[in-house]
Amino acid sequence: MNGKAKLSVLDYLKLLWGGRPVLEEAIEQGKVVSVAAHTSGVKTLAFWATALASVSAVAAQVGGLVPPPYGAIVLATSPLLYAISRGLVKRDDPLGGAKPALARSEVLANILAAAGQVALAAGHATSPETAVILTTVHAAAIAAADALAKSGAQPVLEK
């Protein structure tokens, strides 16, 4: 004899069934790890598309290619939509709302866009009233993204 015990098909099935809780736990932990490993915001195509749209909107407004306030509106809309999309992505992430505000790409995009609104108003490319209203949109976008990120999954606690 070679010292190995021979297992029947029934024995294999019993072993598989007995190991089911371990397998289920491994799958659950894998889900947590995969959700936590989302791509950083500044490394995504969406972030760079938002940045390009924002810079293009300011350039078009300053260059006179679009009449006021359309450049400022695009400058507000692009980061707003980006912030909402990032908030929705982070909603399924147990650590979605854990990062400090200034370390999040959607906050950075909206702060820079708000600065662009001020620059447009200072350069007389748009009215100060429009800049103030659209800067408020940026603040609301940050708050909405934060609320969305915190509305989903709760942190996984050790058992």
Contact status, residue 57 vs residue 112, Cβ threshold 8 Å: no
> What CA–CA distance (Å, rounded) separates 157 from 153?
12
Q: Is the pLDDT assigned to residue 1 strictly greater than 60?
A: no
> What CA–CA distance (Å, rounded) separates 60 from 68?
10
Contact status, residue 104 vs residue 125, Cβ threshold 8 Å: no
Residue found under tokens 């509305």 = 151
Predicted model pTM: 0.70
User: For residue 121, how far is the Cα from the chain centroid?
Assistant: 29
Q: Is the pLDDT assigned to residue 128 strictly greater than 80?
A: yes
> What CA–CA distance (Å, rounded) separates 55 from 43?
18
pLDDT tens digits for range 50-87: 999 999 999 999 999 999 889 999 999 999 999 999 88
| Extents of the domains making up the chain | 40-151
Burial 112-146 (b: 16+ CB within 10 A, else e): bbbebbebbbeeebbeeebbeebbebbeebbeebb
pLDDT tens digits for range 95-106: 766 777 788 889
